[in-house]
């Protein structure tokens, strides 16, 4: 908050510095709107300028020397063009700055040089000028400047041909030669703080002080967190902590769900040759899977049967379907709710090994179970 309060102070300081600087130089660019009564087209022309201003101390009026140059002013009726250079000396009255803005008015006289004169209407001569503008502080020494200036050139011999011009210009002002406002350094108050040494206790020896220990009676050698509570471990390294893992012995590298259970598991069930009859050696595997499904009724299992590539594809698909249904029936016999089970035969699709060897074909003859959490 204190830093934010310094911002307007710095901006006001920028305006104050520009006000107090001894010198200002302002490159300008703008447009000259001509009245058109001395042969210059009344559609106007571009001009550039340079303004030099001296700011005396204890005075709001500053002398200013300006050079304004119009490189290409067209005459009427295709009479060619001319450049116009004006040298002006003005007195500038500076109003007090309002926030970052400094208004000013100016008036003075000067001389106009015409490169291609048209006698008697457009010749070199004396000019009078008056104007007003604003400077907007953008940095300690820099301001944006905008002004409008009325310039009139009157020849006594041809008074009815007075040359009236309105000039609008914008530019950038650099102020220098003054003293930048000094910001008094903030006095820092140093408070003395008495240090009282407090001896902390760790009653259960878990490395967390009693004042921070939310589990104060942790058994010795237990791994704890910063609050002194035991950290749940992941014994089977499946990414699911033991306390949330309902399948705690998942093989390493197996894809699991949020409860640590394999998404797809090979049940390793064996059958009679060219048959859907389950061998007795597979009963223990079926019993284990049935116990899991009965304990977790929020899961459904899709039993998928596969064969190797021997025989026709149509026959293999039917054989895999019969084997999948046989496994479903065996699970239902062991108490699994039939609503939890579906069976599908995939035949020789999706082999997990080559069908060119006996070992590979044995791996492809398999029953998989795909778990879905209801």
Question: CA-to-CA distance for 152 and 279, rounded, in angstroms?
Answer: 117
**Residue at 330 is within a domain:** yes
According to DSSP, the β-strands at 341-345 and 299-305 are parallel
According to DSSP, the β-strands at 125-139 and 299-305 are unpaired
**Residue at 253 is within a domain:** no
Q: Would you say 65 and 52 are in contact if contact means Cβ atoms under 8 Å apart?
A: yes
Is pLDDT above 80 for 7?
A: no
For position 187, what pLDDT does the model report? 65
The single-letter DSSP state of residue 347 is T
For position 328, what pLDDT does the model report? 94
213 vs 273, residue with greater confidence: 213
Give alpha helix (H) positions in 259-373: 283-295, 313-333, 358-364
- Residue 110: partners with Cβ closer than 8 Å, 6 or more residues away: 66, 86, 87, 88, 89, 126, 127, 129
| Structure token digits, residue 67 | 């050079």
For position 160, what pLDDT does the model report? 60
161 vs 249, residue with greater confidence: 249
Question: CA-to-CA distance for 154 and 209, rounded, in angstroms?
Answer: 96
Question: CA-to-CA distance for 324 and 156, rounded, in angstroms?
Answer: 119
Same structural domain for residues 208 and 62?
no
Same structural domain for residues 207 and 109?
no
Region 322-331 average pLDDT: 93
- Total tally of structural domains belonging to the chain: 3
Question: CA-to-CA distance for 270 and 280, rounded, in angstroms?
Answer: 9
Confidence of residue 312 (pLDDT cuts 50, 70, 90): very high
Q: Which domain range does residue 91 map to?
A: 2-176
For position 10, what pLDDT does the model report? 42
Same structural domain for residues 21 and 167?
yes
Confidence of residue 47 (pLDDT cuts 50, 70, 90): very high
Is pLDDT above 80 for 3?
A: no
According to DSSP, the β-strands at 299-305 and 61-74 are unpaired
Report the run of H or E that residue 14 belongs to, with start and end: helix 2-20
Dump pLDDT digits (tens) for 50-85.
999 999 988 889 999 999 999 988 877 777 788 889
Cα 338 from chain centre: 54
- Residue 280: partners with Cβ closer than 8 Å, 6 or more residues away: none
Give alpha helix (H) positions in 300-357: 313-333
Q: State percent of the chain over pLDDT 70.
A: 82
For 176-229, give the secondary structure using H, E and C.
ECCCCCCCCCCCCCCCCCCCCCCCCCCCCCCCCCCCCCCCCCCCCCCCECCCCC
Dump pLDDT digits (tens) for 220-240.
777 778 887 877 677 767 667
Same structural domain for residues 172 and 305?
no
Domain boundary among 184, 214, 231: 231
Residue 295, domain CATH: 3.30.1330.60
For position 54, what pLDDT does the model report? 93
Question: In terms of pTM, does the model score above 0.85?
Answer: no
Is pLDDT above 80 for 302?
A: yes
For position 8, what pLDDT does the model report? 45
Same structural domain for residues 54 and 137?
yes
Confidence of residue 4 (pLDDT cuts 50, 70, 90): very low
**Residue at 100 is within a domain:** yes
Question: CA-to-CA distance for 1 and 30, rounded, in angstroms?
Answer: 42
């Amino acid at each position: 908050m204190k830093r934010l309060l310094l911002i307007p102070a710095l901006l006001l300081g920028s305006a104050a510095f520009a006000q107090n600087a001894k010198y200002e130089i302002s490159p300008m660019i703008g447009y000259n709107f001509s009245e058109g009564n001395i042969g210059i087209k009344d559609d106007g022309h571009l001009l550039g300028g340079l303004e030099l201003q001296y700011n005396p101390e204890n005075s709001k009026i500053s002398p200013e020397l300006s050079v304004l140059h119009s490189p290409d002013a067209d005459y009427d009726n295709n009479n060619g063009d001319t450049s116009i250079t004006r040298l002006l000396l003005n007195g500038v009255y500076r109003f007090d700055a309002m926030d970052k803005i400094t208004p000013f008015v100016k008036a003075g006289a000067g001389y106009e040089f015409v490169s291609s004169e048209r006698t008697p209407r457009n010749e070199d001569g004396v000019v009078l000028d008056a104007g007003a503008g604003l400077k907007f502080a953008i940095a300690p020494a820099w301001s944006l400047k905008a002004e409008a200036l009325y310039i009139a050139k009157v020849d006594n011999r041809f008074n009815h041909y007075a040359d009236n011009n309105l000039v609008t210009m914008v530019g950038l002002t650099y102020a220098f030669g003054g003293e930048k406002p000094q910001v008094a350094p903030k006095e820092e108050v140093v408070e003395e703080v008495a240090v009282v040494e407090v001896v902390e206790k760790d009653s259960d020896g878990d490395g967390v002080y009693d004042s921070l220990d939310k589990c104060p009676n942790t058994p010795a050698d237990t791994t704890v967190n910063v609050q002194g509570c035991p950290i749940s471990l992941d014994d089977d390294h499946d990414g699911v902590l033991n306390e949330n893992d309902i399948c705690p012995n998942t093989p390493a590298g197996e894809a699991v769900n949020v409860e640590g259970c394999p998404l797809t598991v090979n049940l390793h069930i064996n059958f009679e040759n060219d048959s859907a009859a389950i061998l007795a050696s597979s009963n223990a595997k079926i019993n284990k899977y049935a116990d899991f499904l009965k304990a977790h009724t929020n899961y459904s299992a899709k039993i998928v049967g596969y064969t190797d590539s021997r025989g026709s594809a149509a026959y293999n698909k039917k054989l895999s379907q019969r084997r999948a249904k046989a496994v479903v029936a065996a699970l239902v016999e062991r108490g699994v709710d039939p609503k939890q089970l579906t069976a599908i035969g995939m035949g020789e699709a999706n082999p997990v090994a080559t069908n060119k060897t006996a070992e590979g074909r044995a791996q492809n003859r398999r029953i998989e179970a795909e778990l879905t959490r209801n």
